[in-house]
């Protein structure tokens, strides 16, 4: 029996963000999406890596961070060291949809970390980040035919604090919140990590 869920999904069109109900199956063949979100230093990346590392078969890590300063270089180095030799690493700050398409048939497990950093890169380099979001969502849908692939997606919850004091930050917050909603609606499983403790919410 197929479990049917109703999802309230925001989507961007020419007239702005609109919302619609979407029916999708709770279980399906093909790719499985595991969405992991949480605040900064919540332990979400560590949890995603622990879960994904437990799977058998070939593994790929898609990193969206750019080493633009010494601090970020050190962060990236620590992440690489922590993953070990079981992972192939792909560094792609912008075209993650293209990267996933290129490598989808070569791995059983792919970990994308992180979605909000990709969004920040896109927002700073594009006048229309909404188009990049739609392209990414379409790319995820096209991966559904890959049987046995587990895709772990890490993101940040950025809307739980104070309202940002400038237009760019408020736009980023709004885009990130909407993007997280859309990924959560597509995902087979969603985990919220708080203070190092994962809570399965879907």
pLDDT digits (tens, 9 = 90+) for 71-92: 877 877 777 777 778 899 999 9
Is 24 known to be catalytic? no
Query: Quick one: pLDDT at residue 159?
Result: 86
The domain that holds 70 is classified in CATH as: 3.40.50.300
Going by C-alpha positions, the residue among 29, 21, 36 that lies closest to residue 2 is 29
Domain membership flag for residue 52: yes
For residue 127, pLDDT over 80 is answered with: no
Q: Does the pLDDT value for residue 20 go beyond 90?
A: no
Instruction: Name which of 151, 136, 155, 138 is nearest 189 in CA terms.
Output: 151
Assigned domain for 2 exists: no
- pLDDT one-digit tens code per residue, 141-165: 989 889 999 999 999 999 888 888 9
The predicted pLDDT at position 197 comes to 98
In a domain, 36, yes or no: yes
Q: Residue 34 is part of which domain span? A: 28-200
Which of 13, 77, 79, 150 is catalytic? The answer is 79
Tally of domains in the chain: 1
In a domain, 98, yes or no: yes
pLDDT exceeds cutoff 90 at 8: no
Q: What is the pLDDT of residues 24-62, one digit of tens each?
A: 444 456 899 999 999 999 999 999 999 999 999 999 999
Q: Does 12 map to a domain?
A: no
Distance CA 64, CA 96 (A): 8
Residue 194 lies in a domain: yes
- pLDDT at residue 29 in the model: 65
Alpha-carbon radius of gyration of the chain: 17
Sheet holding 150-156, edge to edge: 87-91, 59-63, 109-113, 150-156, 32-38, 189-194, 197-200
What pLDDT is attached to residue 144? 85
8 domain residue, yes or no: no
Residue with tokens 């750019």: 66
Number of residues that this document lists for the chain: 202
- How high is the pLDDT of residue 19? 46
Helix, coil or strand: residue 161: coil
Of 55, 52, 56, 33, the closest CA to residue 44 belongs to 52
CB 119 within 8 Å of CB 179: yes
């Amino acid at each position: 029996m197929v479990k049917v869920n109703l999802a309230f999904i925001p989507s961007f069109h020419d007239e702005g963000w609109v919302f619609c109900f979407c029916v999708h199956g709770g279980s399906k063949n093909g790719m499985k999406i595991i969405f992991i979100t949480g605040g900064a230093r919540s332990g979400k990346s560590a949890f995603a890596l622990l879960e994904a590392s437990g799977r058998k078969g070939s593994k790929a890590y898609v990193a969206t961070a750019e080493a633009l300063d010494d601090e970020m270089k050190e962060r990236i180095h620590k992440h690489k060291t922590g993953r070990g030799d079981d992972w192939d690493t792909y560094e792609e700050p912008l075209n993650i949809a293209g990267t996933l398409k290129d490598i989808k048939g070569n791995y059983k497990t792919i970990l994308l970390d992180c979605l909000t950093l990709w969004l920040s890169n896109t927002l700073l380099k594009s006048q229309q980040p909404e188009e990049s979001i739609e392209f990414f969502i379409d790319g995820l849908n096209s991966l559904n035919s890959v049987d046995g692939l587990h895709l772990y997606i890490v993101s940040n919850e950025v809307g739980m604090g104070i309202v940002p004091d400038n237009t760019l930050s408020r736009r980023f917050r709004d885009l990130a919140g909407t993007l997280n909603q859309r990924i959560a609606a597509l995902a087979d499983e969603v985990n919220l990590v708080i203070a190092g403790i994962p809570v399965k919410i879907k």
